[in-house]
C-alpha cells in the first residue's frame, strides 16, 4: 500500500533522509522510531505531499506521490504533529469541510460526521468554534477529520502528543481496529511502548538512515538480546557508537 524506493532528501548540506526504501502492506501498523531530527517527520511530509524528494519514488495505493499527488492523498488520512483548524469554524463544520474535500455525497458525509463525533466523543463541543478548544480537543477533531472519509491509509506524526490517557487508549484501540479492517497505519512516535504495543513492524531511523525494519522480536534476534526491552534496543541502535550504514 505504501512503497518508498531509494528516497533521498537533503536540506542544503544536511541529509535528512538517505536512500530510504520501505514497503508497508495493507492492514499493517508500521511505527517509525527515531530521535529528534532523525528524519521521521521529513519522511511523513514526503508521503503526504508536503515535501518532494530529491531522488527516489514514493507511492501510495499505486499512485506516485509526486506526480499523482491528488490521487495519492485521496487515499490518505493525515494527523500532523501540529494540527491546524479554522478558528472561525465549529468542529462539525470543519469535519464537513474535510468530507466535502474528499467528494463525499451529502448523506454519506452526514453519516460519517455522526460516526466520528460519536467515536471521538466530540458531541459536547462539536458545535462550538474551534478557537475555544483545548489542545486535546483539537487533536481529537483532527483525528476525526483523518478518519471521516474512511481512508485506506492513515499517516500519523506523533499522534499521542496532547492526548490524555483515556484518549490515548481510544486511539490505540482505534488504530488496531482499523488495521484489522484493512487500513494501513503509518506513524512516527517517540513513545516506544506505543510502538511495542500496537505496531506490527517498526523502523528505526538514525541520522536519516533506516537502521532496522522488522518486528520487535526480529530486532531482539538480530541484536541477539532475548528479553531486552525495546527502549534498550533502540538506544543501542541509535547511540553515537552505532555508525550509519553506507
Which residues contact other proteins by CB under 8 A? 11-14, 42, 45, 48-52, 69-71, 73-74, 76, 78, 80, 82, 84, 86-90, 93, 97-98, 100-105, 108, 111-112, 114-115, 117-121, 123-124, 129, 131, 140, 149-152, 164, 166-167, 169-170, 173, 177-178, 181-183
User: Considering the complex, what minimum distance in angstroms separates the CB of residue 21 from other proteins?
Assistant: 21
Nearer to other proteins, 140 or 220 (CB): 140
Q: Give 184's contacts (C-beta < 8 A, 6+ positions apart).
A: 1, 2, 24, 25, 26, 27, 28, 30, 152, 153, 154
3-state SS assignment for residue 181:
coil
What does the block give as the cell for 116? 466520528
- Is 47:2 a contact under the CB 8 Å cutoff? yes
* 231-239 long-range Cβ contacts below 8 angstroms, 24+ apart: 231/192, 234/33, 234/192, 234/204, 237/204, 237/206, 237/211, 237/212, 238/34, 238/35, 238/38, 238/204, 238/206, 238/211
Residue whose CB is less far from other proteins, 12 or 240: 12
Tell me the three cell numbers of residue 132.
Answer: 475555544
Give the integer Cα–Cα distance in Å for 65 and 119.
30
Nearer to other proteins, 78 or 212 (CB): 78
In angstroms, give the least distance from the CB of 94 to other proteins.
Answer: 10
**Shortest reach from residue 8's CB to other proteins, in Å:** 14
Look up residue 153 and give its three cell numbers. 491509509
Query: Least distance from C-beta 189 to other proteins, angstroms?
Result: 19
149 vs 201, beta carbon nearer other proteins:
149
Q: What is the smallest separation between the CB atom of 240 and other proteins, expressed in angstroms?
A: 20
DSSP string, 185-208: EEEEES-HHHHHHH-SEEEEEETT
Q: For other proteins, which is the closer residue by CB, 45 or 220?
A: 45
The minimum distance between CB 71 and other proteins, in angstroms, equals 7
Considering the complex, state which of residue 57 and residue 152 has its C-beta at the smaller distance from other proteins.
152
Which of residues 131 and 218 has its CB atom nearest to other proteins in the complex?
Answer: 131
CB of 101 to other proteins, least distance (A): 5
Amino acid at each position: 500500500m505504501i512503497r518508498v524506493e531509494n528516497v533521498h532528501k537533503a536540506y542544503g548540506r544536511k541529509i535528512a533522509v538517505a536512500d530510504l526504501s520501505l514497503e508497508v502492506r495493507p492492514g499493517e501498523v508500521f511505527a517509525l522510531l527515531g530521535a529528534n531530527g532523525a528524519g521521521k517527520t521529513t519522511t511523513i511530509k514526503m508521503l503526504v505531499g508536503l515535501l518532494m524528494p530529491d531522488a527516489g519514488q514514493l507511492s501510495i495505493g499505486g499512485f506516485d506521490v509526486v506526480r499523482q499527488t491528488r490521487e495519492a492523498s485521496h487515499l490518505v488520512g493525515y494527523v500532523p504533529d501540529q494540527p491546524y483548524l479554522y478558528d472561525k469554524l465549529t468542529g462539525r463544520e470543519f469535519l464537513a469541510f474535510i468530507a466535502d474535500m474528499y467528494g463525499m455525497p451529502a448523506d454519506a458525509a452526514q453519516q460519517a460526521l455522526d460516526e466520528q463525533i460519536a467515536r471521538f466523543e466530540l458531541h459536547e463541543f462539536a458545535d462550538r468554534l474551534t478557537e475555544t478548544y483545548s489542545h486535546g480537543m483539537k487533536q481529537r477533531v483532527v483525528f476525526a477529520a483523518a478518519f471521516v472519509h474512511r481512508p485506506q491509509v492513515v499517516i500519523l506524526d506523533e499522534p499521542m502528543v496532547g492526548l490524555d490517557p483515556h484518549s490515548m487508549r481510544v486511539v490505540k484501540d482505534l488504530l488496531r481496529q482499523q488495521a484489522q479492517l484493512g487500513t494501513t497505519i503509518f506513524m512516527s512516535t517517540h513513545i516506544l511502548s506505543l510502538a511495542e504495543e500496537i505496531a506490527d513492524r517498526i523502523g528505526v531511523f538514525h541520522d536519516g538512515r533506516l537502521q532496522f525494519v522488522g518486528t520487535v522480536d526480529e530486532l531482539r534476534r538480530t541484536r541477539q538480546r532475548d528479553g531486552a526491552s525495546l527502549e534498550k534496543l533502540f538506544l543501542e541502535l541509535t547511540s553515537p557508537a552505532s555508525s550509519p550504514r553506507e
